[in-house]
Chain A
Amino acid sequence: MSDDDIRRAVWRMAHEIVEANHGLHDVVLIGLQTGGVPIAAALAEALEKIEPETGADVPIGCLDVAFHRDDFGLRPVLPPALTEIPVDLTGRVVVLVDDVLFTGRTIRAALDALGDYGRARAVQLAVMVDRGHRELPIRPDYVGKNLPTRRDEMVNVSSEGVDLGELVK
């Protein structure tokens, strides 16, 4: 995927979010640290152009799930990034945004973490790349690109595009 492909995918996903929710009423965007945050920002920008009346009012937050992971103790302690949820999520429609959907364990942790901020009316999932290999019953609502991968490959999403490489061990 090139940078233009990413831009188009963001644009399409933003349209899908508006369509699925019949507008943007109660919608909150939450980017997962760290890869999901720039994509959430890009989606917010697109929403503002698509729905000039309500798009600018969509709250945007970020979430770090380090304390909710299930592989705690299996991986080195990483300094968690910033979590900032600007509104009470009770009754809102939360669109979780991440760069790559893989095993689904990060999303499970994010769903757990979100519960601490209120009872959302619905949680939807937007990802730039769905690379398969799910280990949990989780599916995305909005997908930039389905990218078949091997388990040992590494997907890198940046503003320049999406790269596929070998996992560095």
Chain B
Amino acid sequence: MKHLLSIADLTPTDLTDLLDLTESFVEVNERPIPKVPALRGKTVVSLFFEDSTRTRLSFETAAKRLSADTMTFSVSTSSVKKGESVRDTVETIEAMGIHALVVRHASAGVPAQVSRWVRGASVINGGDGWHEHPTQALLDAFTLRQHLHTIEGRHVAIVGDIKHSRVARSDALAFTALGARVTLVAPPTLLPPSLDGWPVEVSYDLDDVLPKIDACYLLRMQRERMTEALVPSLREYASLYGLTPERADRLGPEALIMHPGPMNRGVEIAGEVTDRPNVVVIDQVRNGVAVRMAVLYSLLGGPDAAPEETDQP
């Protein structure tokens, strides 16, 4: 594996291998000194054309815990403001001798395009437009597996703004590849125009779905991506699709409540619900670091050509 651009590129075995590798890094993160020298001398650059708190910090923490060096590129203080193109920016950064680029951009396909421009570095998709957010899906799958012990045969509902959500797309692909059943729950205006080829079921009625599921994955209402009036008001959305305390009571006792963050309290999730013990949002963030360590380790660790064995196993 050279780049991580999309969950769609990964086989179920690839996914399981990454989740297994993540277990090792969860252990590393629990050590008194949570740092290993595995990527010493490697440089990881986060190239974020879009705002982010958790993904960028999570990648930087992951890289630092593997002893890699990190550089951060933020558009607001760069030559992009002077009109430098993405391609020139990428070529300039790569010429400084870097090993991995984490790319986030508001347009779908930018990380894939960047992966065709780079000469040797690995490209990781840190979220591209409405397309995909593969490391989010990996950390969500890991969190599911951690709490439910297995993903195979579990039923997950993804609720909310599916249309604008790269998380929904990556999650649906990852969960179904690992054997889960996925139901998308949203008003028709917030579903993609076509669901052809999506291995999912669709429902418009959250109350009907809640008692049947093992995990309820709430998406953020992305006000910044909504250019047209797709819901009459956020209040109406909250009353029909928000996870109110009454709705949370309809969930099974073991069912998880997940959210990729940042949460809009009072819209997709009621403030009181966020304190319940089956809300695993903090675990998602914690696992995010371990998952990204596993991704960096797999991408930067492999040899170009394996030379002779030099030691006992």
Contacts and interface: CB of A to CB of B under 8 A. Distances in A.
A35 B312 CA distance: 10
Contacts of B301: 72-73, 77
Contacts of B229: none
Interface string B209-236: 0000000000000000000000000000
A144 B311 CA distance: 19
Q: Which of B28, B297, B301, B311 is most buried by chain A, counting CB atoms within 10 A of its CB?
A: B311
A79 to B, nearest CB: 6
Contacts of B86: none
Which secondary structure characterizes the binding site on chain A?
loop
Contacts of A93: none
B193 interface: no
Interface in B187-210: none
Nearest to A106: B311
Contacts of B66: 67
Interface string A110-138: 00110111100000000000000000000
Contacts of A10: none
Contacts of A2: none
B262 to A, nearest CB: 32
Interface stretch (B17-25, B69-77, B176-184): B17-25
**Interface size range of chain B in the complex:** 20 to 34
A155 interface: yes
A73 B303 contact: yes
A67 B28 CA distance: 10
Contacts of B37: 67-68, 112
B309 interface: yes
Contacts of A83: 24, 27-28
B313 interface: yes
B61 interface: no
B310 to A, nearest CB: 6
Interface string B1-43: 0000000000000000100110010011001111111110000
B308 interface: yes
A80 B310 contact: no
Interface in B268-313: 297-298, 300-303, 306-313
Contacts of B28: 67, 83
Contacts of A71: 310-311
A106 B311 CA distance: 8
B312 A79 contact: no
Contacts of B31: 116-117
Contacts of A116: 31-36
B310 A79 contact: no
A77 B298 contact: yes
Given A75-B309, A117-B31, A169-B308, A68 B21 contact: no
Given A35-B313, A106-B312, A117-B32, 5 more contacts: A66-B24, A79-B21, A82-B24, A100-B312, A106-B311
Interface of A: 34-35, 64, 66-68, 71-77, 79-80, 82-84, 88, 99-100, 102-103, 105-106, 112-113, 115-118, 155, 167, 169
